[in-house]
Each structure stands twice: as structure tokens, then as C-alpha cells.
Chain A
């Protein structure tokens, strides 16, 4: 994998559903993986910083896992609420440059 890829591109779920999406990134020279939530008319906000293979982070109903050897991270949302509606971006940071490379994001819409 040369670029950061996120799937799916968009997702519609009902309130209460649990959901997950994927971020794939180059595994060579890995430094960190960042997840952001970007709500409409607001600035992207950092959710998680993940650095170690096997890392698992949690914030309320949202959690994320990291596999640096195969180059992927999953973001899970348990019991989605309408306020979870946002675009979720991941960014891969490689050692040396420390410049993040972003994926296109997954747009999540949670219907009441």
C-alpha cells in the first residue's frame, strides 16, 4: 500500500447500530496513526493517536485498533447516535518526515 485508504467512503446507519470502518496505510517506516472526527462547519478534531502494534484505544463509545505489521486500523462506534454523524479521517505518519498523509475519510450519517 502506497497511500492511505479508507473504506467505506460513506455509511448510513440507524441510531443504535454499531459500525466500523477501516484505514489502510503503508506499514514501512511507521511512526503513528491518527484518527480525527470532522463535523460539518467545525474543524477536524483528534480522536486517537496510535503508535504501537496491537494498540487499542477507547473514548466513550468509540474505540480503535492498530496493526502496524499489516498496515491497518479499525475504528468502531458502539450504539451510534445522531451526534456521531461526521467525517472520520485517518492520517498515517512515517518516521523521518513526520508529515501526516490523510485518507479521504469515511462520512458517517446516523439516522434517528
Chain B
């Protein structure tokens, strides 16, 4: 059974139209991460939460925001997607210092 679930698997949105990606976990891990991964590049950390403490990477664009209403759920909001935001978005969870458990990712396309 999947332990980190991302929805949707594929998301197509129009240039500038807000989009929300979701992630849920059944592992009760205290740390959750959002990564952006473009072809042949390393996954780039956008945000992470340690419990409810939100940590924004210094180079994450202001266009990207995140919410973690409880331990199980985390959302990535892209307020005005541009063509450069087309990517795979990965959610991962862990207990600090341990290897991460990833979801299957959401492939975002921008028209």
C-alpha cells in the first residue's frame, strides 16, 4: 500500500492559472518535503516542514507557497504558473536524518 500519496499524477494548467498539488502520508513522519525536479537535474528542495515549522529555501520563488494543516497532509500552491514551472513535483517524508519515503510525483505541464 502506498504510504506517500500525491495527487494528481498529472496536472495540466494554463499559464498564470493557480494550481494546488497535494501530498498525504500514513507514516506519521514529522518531516515533509517538496521537491521540484526538471529533466536531468537534481531534485531541488522548495520547502520542508519539521512538524509545523515551515522552512522556505532561500531561492524558492515567491510564486510557490505551501501549507501543512496537519501531520498527514501537505499542499504545494503555485500562484501564477509560468512555463519554467513545468516539472515533476515530488513529496517526501521522513523522520529526521532517516532516508526519505517519496510519493510517485505530480508531473505539471503548463499550456
Q: Number of B interface residues, CB 8 Å?
A: 20
For B100, the chain A residues whose CB sits under 8 A away are: 34, 36, 44, 46, 91, 100
Secondary structure dominating the interface of B = loop
Q: Number of A interface residues, CB 8 Å?
A: 25
B81 at the A interface (CB under 8 A): no
Shortest C-beta distance, A6 to chain B (Å), equals 8
Is B40 in contact with A4, judged by CB distance below 8 angstroms? no
For A4, the chain B residues whose CB sits under 8 A away are: 42
For B42, the chain A residues whose CB sits under 8 A away are: 4, 89, 101-105
A-B contacts counted at CB < 8 A amount to: 48
A108 at the B interface (CB under 8 A): no
Chain A residues engaging chain B, CB cutoff 8 angstroms? 4, 9, 31-32, 34, 36, 41-46, 49, 89, 91, 93, 98-105, 107
Chain B residues engaging chain A, CB cutoff 8 angstroms? 4, 35, 40-43, 45, 48, 90, 92, 96-105
